[in-house]
Structure 1
Amino acid sequence: MEPTITTYEYSYITQQVNNLVSAYLSVNDVKMRGVVRATTLERIVPLLPVDDPLAQTFVHGLQPDRLTREAAAKLIGMIEPLVIPFPQLTTKQLSKLFRKVKKLKQPEWGSLNLHQLTYLGWNDGGNQKKYLVAPYEGRLIGIQGQFNPETIKGLCAICHTIGNVSLFVSTTKTSGLGTYTRNGNYICRDSAQCNRQLTEPQALTDFLTVVRPKR
């Protein structure tokens, strides 16, 4: 079967299963654990492909009254083949997205799990820059910006989660010849972690609408 689960849905499923495990560890009442389990299944089953054997095994594995974190991690990994991966772009494809960058630092593809990426982001610490490739209006776009080396605890503009964030400043062209606007947003220092926390696409779309290059 072709993958049907989006990466942000996969993150949401992962979040729900981890919450279920936390409930199992903290709630002693059997009936209450049953309620939490039923609520979890109600939230994630609609996101899974109907009649797929992997999905069925995954759901069955959530049925026991107790679930360890190790067992949960194995279950979550089981459905990874059902997730639509982020495309692995060639050097040429990336260069086309960042035409004005003469020496584009490439992302470390070997360290990335494409099944967990709603967007691609990597840091160029030497030049204090960050590069983002993300889907926007049916196509991939490239965003670059200055990335402050200072890290603080704050709210990420992309995943809307409190964590280690840095100031990302992009420059976009506005109406009028030669008129530019600088946009500053705090986003996760670690884009892989940000992706794992990204459970719905609207915040990313809103962020891209502000920082994307204007033609």
Structure 2
Amino acid sequence: MEPTITAYEYSYITQQVNALVSAYLSVNDKRMRRVVRDTTVENIASHLPADEPIAQDFLQQLQPDRLTREAAAKLLPTIEPLVVPFPSLSQKQLSKLFRKVKKLKQPEWAGVDLHELTYLGWNDGGSQKKYLVAPYQDRLIGIQGDMGPKTVKGVCAICQTIGNVSLFVSTTKKSGLGTFTRNGNYICRDSAQCNRQLIDPQPLADFLEIVRPKR
């Protein structure tokens, strides 16, 4: 079985399933529930491989008229084998991405689900730094920046969702004359939550274009 679903597609499918469960809980009209279910199944099917038995079984399990939250929570992990996981990076590989960081704090890998990651992000509370590893032009790049201590409610530049965000500021080289500029955006403080909310990779690409180191 070849994984074909991206992490952001998996996030989209998860959101669709959760919305379906919410509709089942709030809509009493049987015909309307069927319309919502059929629309949801159609939306999800467009992101799944048509010839994969796991995918077809998943869609079949969405057919009951009353899908509970408990059933949905057990159902979603069944399609994880179809998701292309984020690379599991060694300490040496991470160090190469952050060559200027002498004491790089490692991510807490035990709490990381690689199938949910479009990008990898973690915080170093001691130094008020945030580190990001993300795909850029067919390779992984490392971005480091200062993470403001203040958390506010706002729209994340990466996942485009309202939540708990903080100001992330990176320093990028502006020209060959040794001048530098600082670029900042409000992003989710919790990168794992951000990934679960990310269903469109374009805002992430736009964010990386702004904050990545320039030569």
Q: TM-score, length-normalised on structure 1?
A: 0.98
Q: 2:89 — aligned with what? A: 89
Q: 2:78 — aligned with what? A: 78
- The one-letter code matched in structure 1 to 2:164 is N
Q: 1:111 — aligned with what? A: 111
CA RMSD of aligned residues (A): 0.7
Q: 2:154 — aligned with what? A: 154
Q: 2:137 — aligned with what? A: 137
The CA deviation string for residues 17-54 of structure 1, in whole angstroms up to 9 with x for no partner, is 00000000000111111111111111110111122111
Shift of 1:176: 4.0
Q: 1:63 — aligned with what? A: 63
Shift of 1:188: 0.4
Give, in whole Å, the separation in 1 of the partners of 2:176 and 2:32: 61
Map 1:127-206; keep pairs closer than 5 Å.
127-206=127-206
Identity of aligned residues (%): 78
Shift of 1:73: 1.1
Instruction: Specify every segment of 5 or more residues in structure 2 that has no aligned partner in the other structure, as ranges.
Output: none
- The one-letter code matched in structure 2 to 1:17 is V
Q: 1:126 — aligned with what? A: 126
Shift of 1:179: 1.5
Give, in whole Å, the separation in 1 of the partners of 2:63 and 2:15: 17
Give, in whole Å, the separation in 2 of the partners of 1:211 and 1:184: 7
The CA deviation string for residues 135-180 of structure 1, in whole angstroms up to 9 with x for no partner, is 0110000000000111111110000000011110001111341121
Give, in whole Å, the separation in 2 of the partners of 1:3 and 1:50: 13
- The one-letter code matched in structure 2 to 1:170 is S
Shift of 1:102: 0.5
Instruction: Specify every segment of 5 or more residues in structure 1 that has no aligned partner in the other structure, as ranges.
Output: none
Give, in whole Å, the separation in 2 of the partners of 1:143 and 1:152: 22
Secondary structure of 1:127's counterpart equals coil
Give, in whole Å, the separation in 1 of the partners of 2:158 and 2:173: 21
Give, in whole Å, the separation in 1 of the partners of 2:74 and 2:49: 19
Q: TM-score, length-normalised on structure 2?
A: 0.98
Q: 2:211 — aligned with what? A: 211
Give, in whole Å, the separation in 2 of the partners of 1:145 and 1:175: 19
Shift of 1:74: 1.1
